[in-house]
Structure 1
């Protein structure tokens, strides 16, 4: 196939992407103990840029030295030393012609390893469902977090703002706010995790308020010419089957609200991007995001087959595709697709970190 859609150009904000392939954000726990980026990470990200991906989204980066860190050896953008450590990584990616976007992630109540504190915070004192990911160093149920005070909320908003400015200083082309997979922003959106009775709880609009405030404050800080996106999902790392209560109706409320905010794109992730997301016969998550927000959409979820991805773009359900496990197995996926080469199958024994001792289904929710 010629993959005319996959290999067409697209402009996000003031940056032109040479194709529609994006590396999905994937937790790697390969940073230094103090959160600095390193040579291992430089080689990891540079490989995708060399492999033809037009855009690379970083793993989730923690934004402050309080409650945001989710995993030990997760990289941060919480201070100046973190910023400096990212500069050679960013330069290596951009030197190969790819744009590089920093994903900013506050783990909230889903944190399972924080060098700064043993406590966790969340919208309400409700523990996430399921168990911590042993693959990422956790074990057993999540602890019950402390309900966030007004000051905690202000601190979290400021953390996103300051880390976005550090990302800009480090040379990143943009920032993606992590509002998916059960992390802090998603905890505010999730009905059973958010039992607040103030302006941040109750209705969908109230539960989205923190999203909107963070988006607008980050945009005000970084200016108009820095790419700003958000990632969103229904499922979580430890509750992959979760669905929004009102299904497609709630999706319309959410994406319409996000479409009116100062975003350049929405990045949606689902178990399978081509499946109906809200029940039989409903829209896919990507189509809902695109139609209701009127913004460019990155779709994620088992799109590691070039023909399938091409057809998905051709049907106008998304504008870009992000690859996780398929990119891990094929860091040069775009270059291979362009010349019709066979792709390698994902094999966690060969592809993931050496300490990986886990069944594949236990990590799929994080790596799709």
Structure 2
């Protein structure tokens, strides 16, 4: 297939935005924000990749003392808003479009990364693993189960994050409902064993997500809000007894909100949970479906041609190829991502991947 025949190069309307192509840069944690402050180096990184139809910036804390990585950015302070303006202005100057992924880590936050503050979650169930801390690898701690009033306060944090993202110049926000973080912890029954109105049935487990969507869309408008889900991913000891039933329920529920998109991770990083969730979402969800996890440009074209999705998000291939869109168009060789620099500080493995014309 001639690369330019690939349907990824076709423009598409995504909510309130018109994208010049259907390539999306997936949100990728890069831990380049010391003291949780977005900076000029991050602005360079994102603006280098602005030829991508849509950039989704990395997971960003909606409230302080909820860090899961150490140098992850936030969007809860005036300094962070100013820091993110460097990125949005650079991306817009390069004719790009960028959403901010807004996020609460829940039980994935560690006290040693957060001044001793204990993590919170739907239920007092710890992740069965270790994480990196300033004192080396340590086991995750048992989180404290949230009270209903605390849940309402976190919904308010998501609302304020949307207000702040708008002020920082983002074109929209993606609500992080995937990969074992707080919203996902409510959605899946391995992490949520509550017996109140936030636990039990699909409807109850999705209540927190609904409240967040309603708060955020009130601020941004629904056409500038996306949602990321990973019903199969077992990362951070996540599991659900009925992932297909869960995505069917959520896809139907989401139809009432007219979001910019649903961003669906199709598989489990570890291959522990097997099911086919994309066709279920496609059948039930009436809006723009974005898919993610290990697609090649050729497979992505087939997915679009078969109308199995409307856009495709790429992760490490865009991380390593700032001009990924042009490389695919020319059929050029791709830079290979250097995993040893995914989370290290500085330019190496971040802004120094070569362009085709270098």
TM-score by length of structure 1 reads 0.86
The answer as to whether partners of 1:270 and 1:301 remain within 8 angstroms in 2 is: yes
- The equivalences for 1:70-149 within 5 A come to 70-112=68-110, 114-115=113-114, 117-132=116-131, 139-149=137-147
- Deviation, structure 1 residue 171: 0.5
Q: Distance in 1 between matches of 2:171 and 2:293?
A: 24
Number of residue equivalences: 340
The answer as to whether partners of 1:248 and 1:278 remain within 8 angstroms in 2 is: no
- Deviation, structure 1 residue 3: 3.4
Structure-2 change in CA distance of 1:309 and 1:141 (3 Å): same
Q: Distance in 2 between matches of 1:151 and 1:44?
A: 39
SS in 1 for 2:245: helix
- Check if 1:27 corresponds to 2:29: yes
**Which residue in 2 is equivalent to 1:252?**
248
The answer as to whether partners of 2:267 and 2:274 remain within 8 angstroms in 1 is: no
**Which residue in 2 is equivalent to 1:228?**
225
- Deviation, structure 1 residue 202: 0.4
- Check if 1:337 corresponds to 2:328: yes
Structure 2 spans left out of the alignment, 5+ residues: 347-358
Structure 1 spans left out of the alignment, 5+ residues: 357-368
- Check if 1:317 corresponds to 2:293: no
**Which residue in 1 is equivalent to 2:299?**
308
Q: Distance in 1 between matches of 2:285 and 2:200?
A: 22
Q: Distance in 2 between matches of 1:244 and 1:318?
A: 24
TM-score by length of structure 2 reads 0.88
Q: Distance in 1 between matches of 2:135 and 2:304?
A: 37
The answer as to whether partners of 1:3 and 1:307 remain within 8 angstroms in 2 is: no
**Which residue in 1 is equivalent to 2:279?**
287
CA RMSD of aligned residues (A): 2.3
- Deviation, structure 1 residue 270: 3.3
What do the CA deviations read for 1:282-317 (whole angstroms, capped 9, x no partner)? x4x3332222111111111111x2111111211111
